[in-house]
Amino acid sequence: MKIHREGYLIIAVAILFVWVVIVLFHFVFLNSLVDTSLIVAGAIFLLLIVQFFRDPRRYPPLHPDYILSPADGKVVVIEETIEQEYLNKSCRQISIFMSPLDVHINRLPASGKITYMKYHPGKFLVAWHPKSSTENERATFVIQLHQGIEIVMRQIAGAMARRIRYYVSEGQNVVQGKEFGFIKFGSRVDIFIPNDAHVKIKLGDHVKGGETILAELTS
């Protein structure tokens, strides 16, 4: 299993922590049952940490009219709304909640150019809270597609997620399906697309970043 680079330090610290706890308890209790219990608990803890940072290979269905899912997780919002940070007009919002068990790599939904990017410090409300999209720590990106259409994508930190990472910059040309960021320990990604796009998923669906087609643009 391939591990994402964001996990290297955290996994190393977790291994050291588990080792220190096992050694300390061994010398304090001198009990083989305690040793065995701690080893099992430590192994489970490390397995959970490692699986969180897994980096599975993805096979994007590349197409200029497809809007791919930017994240793994559950679709919790599909609604018409006004995107107020950049577009300032009516559009379709799709929100994906990423639980701690989901892959937390974020992938580009479409090819184009990053025309706007801004990081916002903020609160850490639970990711499914209605105000998390505007009040939580977040990063907003706008991708201008080849048709001239602009879509907005937003990484949102949740109650557990305290670190947003992104690897793109304003003015950069980007490729559909490629990795653009990472959010640690539970979070949400919103995407805002034209109202006339044909949505291909429904509420409650579990989607895969870089593979699931969220919508298809009308030519």
d(CA 194, CA 214): 12
Whether 133 is catalytic: no
Residue for token digits 């539970």?
186
pTM for the model: 0.85
The confidence score (pLDDT) of residue 7 equals 79
End-to-end CA distance of the chain: 39
Which residues are CB-neighbours of 117 under 8 A, at least 6 positions away? 139, 140, 141, 142, 166, 168, 169, 170
- The first and second tokens of residue 66, run together, are 């497809």
Half-sphere exposure of 178 (CA within 13 A, CB side): 10
Give the pLDDT confidence of 80-121 residue by residue, as tens digits: 999 999 999 999 999 999 888 899 899 999 999 999 999 988
User: In this structure, are residues 71 and 166 in contact, taking their beta carbons and an 8 Å threshold?
Assistant: no
d(CA 89, CA 83): 6
Strand partners, 150: 144
131: phi then psi, degrees, rounded to nearest 5 = -90, -5
Helical segments of 92-202, H only: 132-135
The confidence score (pLDDT) of residue 131 equals 55
98: phi then psi, degrees, rounded to nearest 5 = -105, 110
d(CA 40, CA 19): 12
The confidence score (pLDDT) of residue 196 equals 93
Spot the catalytic one: 69, 95, 133, 187: 187
User: In this structure, are residues 144 and 112 in contact, taking their beta carbons and an 8 Å threshold?
Assistant: yes
User: In this structure, are residues 125 and 132 in contact, taking their beta carbons and an 8 Å threshold?
Assistant: yes
d(CA 23, CA 15): 12
67: phi then psi, degrees, rounded to nearest 5 = -110, 110
Residues of the chain with pLDDT under 50: none
